[in-house]
Structure 1
Amino acid sequence: MKVVAPKPFTYGGGEKAVLLLHGFTGSTADVKLLGKYLQQRGYTCHAPLYKGHGMEPNKLIQTDPDDWWQDVVGGYQFLKAEGFEEIAVAGISLGGVFTLKVGMDLPVKGIVSMCAPNKAKNSDDLYMRVRNYARLYKKFEGKDDEQISSELKELEQLPMPFLENLRQLIVDVGRKLDFITSPILVLQGCLDDPLYKESAQLIYHHVNTEEKRIKWYEQSGHIITLGKERETVYEDIVNFLDSLNW
């Protein structure tokens, strides 16, 4: 069975624009419901899809964080080309890291960082993310367990230098949090891995702005945009965006 790859999306909703960024091994599905919610409340949303994501695992591992960052910048430039002068940015997990990097490198009205790592996981943990992605992808293709096991063993033999580059990206962004001067909302699930919970605190305390808030969700894990409390997450994001001086 052929897997239908996810696509970038743009939801036109008004004169205020929000760039939405998904996670590592995720896709625009991570932020699609959030995008529709924002659209209904007067925000135009655009979500790029990072190179290699939503595709077969062998294509994903041939890409690099630099490729994904170019897709983020391309999404920002797309909104600029559409005539939006003021842009806010919101992202989940790796998308949260990119959200912080956008806030460092490009003019933004506000930043929403969700479950973003500020400390890098080790390469083994990141490799397991790729392996789990590969297993699920192959399952969706309709392959049986024996074939999946065989193909995963083949995948294990392939070089994955991008994993170390991803670790370095997270570290580099974490070292430059004081470059962020725009208003920021930091959101974090209480059921998430301790690394992410510690990261939320570090991000909140080290950004260089007085206009900052942090919010915790007791019943939520990592992808809070799709979790039990997603409606509350969406409402909190809208309240933050509405508070900005557009």
Structure 2
Amino acid sequence: MMSRPPFDNALYLPGKEMNIGIILFHAYTGTTRDVNLLARKLNRQGYTILVPLFSGHDTNDIKNVLKYSPKIWQEEAHAAYHWMVEQDFDHLLLFGLSMGGVMATDIMAEPDFSGSGGGVFNSPIVTEQLTDISDSFMNLGGLLAKLRKESEQFQAEYSDILKGHWKQMEELETIKKSIEERLVNIKTPFYIAQSGEDELINPEDAYLLQNHLVNARIDFHYFPDNTHTIPTNRDRDEFDQSVLDFVQQVCHPY
């Protein structure tokens, strides 16, 4: 019997029949709930699902996110992948929302990647400009502070919190540049979902990623009326089905 993963607060859904494992990585400042609905839909197909929780996340204080470097999250993503590899699935796939997609792609771009494929949901892998989500980050920080009844303290610390956020963004840019140089290594099927009404990243950047994946079979889906957090959007049915179809095609091509 498969052991439970040694990751704190991860969502883990063992599959009932098929020997297929799927890792879903959540977004920056997000939680496992980012992909919970998709995880459970995939699990109902018999797939084993692991959704790790990145350190500092699922918190009521945005400063807890700032306690960890994106390099730590990168290491946590790789640890989750290696643990799933040890479970000896016939097929292993990796997906991620936004920053989670950056982490999934980082793993898939390794020369020794042993999975069967994967992909990204609204992820800024290759971008023309520096990704700027500072307004969204600080708005979330202010909302959480209000819920804690600490709005005045948040305003007093606003500048330091914003600096901490930008430091993390710079570290993520370094990771992204490393990935961009290794995208030629990806030779497994690669799924891309991009929302046309994405309020955080430039939807056109998805085409830059597509152009860099010169050795991969790409399954590209553009959802013109959807928003950034597409796995929880109420109009997600078409997206969900496209992910299910991709997994089916990769794992059961005939």
TM-score normalised by L of structure 1:
0.86
Task: Give structure 2 stretches of 5+ with no counterpart.
Answer: 1-7
- Return structure 1 stretches of 4+ with deviation > 6 angstroms: none
2:131 is equivalent to residue 119 of structure 1: no
- State the match for 1:208 in structure 2: 214
With over 3 angstroms needed to count, the CA separation of the structure-2 counterparts of 1:194 and 1:47, relative to structure 1, is closer
Name which of 71, 74, 78 aligns with 1:73.
78
CA 1:86/1:173 → structure 2, altered by over 3 Å: closer, same or farther?
Answer: same
Q: CA deviation at 1:149?
A: 3.0
Stretch moving more, 154-163 or 184-193: 154-163
- Paired residue for 2:93? 88
| Shift in Å, 1:72 | 0.6
The residue identity in structure 2 corresponding to 1:8 is A
Kindly provide the amino acid, as one letter, of the partner of residue 183 in structure 2.
L
Which residue is 2:243 aligned to? 237
CA distance in 2, matches of 1:159, 1:184: 30
Letter in 2 for 1:80: V
Which shows bigger deviation, 108-117 or 125-134? 125-134
Checking the alignment, whether the CA contact within 8 Å between 1:112 and 1:186 is kept in structure 2 is yes
CA RMSD after TM alignment: 2.5
What's the counterpart of residue 182 of structure 1? Answer: 188
| Residue 120 of structure 1, CA deviation | 6.8
Deviation per residue, 1:95-142 (Å, 9 max, x gap): 11112111112222111211111217547x24434323322322343x
The answer to whether structure 1 residue 34 and structure 2 residue 38 are counterparts is yes
Q: CA deviation at 1:146?
A: 3.9
- Deviation track 1:122-171 (CA, whole Å, cap 9, x = no partner) reads 47x24434323322322343x16445434535634768533311122223
TM-score (norm 2): 0.84
**Secondary structure of 1:149's match?**
helix
CA distance in 1, matches of 2:48, 2:243: 14
Q: Which moved more, 1:223-232 or 1:186-195?
A: 186-195
* SS of equivalent residue, structure 1 residue 196: coil
AA aligned to 2:46 is: G
Q: Equivalences for 1:1-150 in 2 at 5 Å?
A: 7-13=9-15, 14-55=18-59, 56-105=61-110, 106-117=113-124, 118-119=126-127, 122=130, 125-141=132-148, 143=149, 145-150=151-156
Which amino acid in 1 is paired with 2:127? Answer: K
Number of residue equivalences: 239
Question: In structure 2, the residue corresponding to 1:229 is in which secondary structure?
Answer: coil
Cα distance in 2 between the residues matched to 1:36 and 1:191? 25
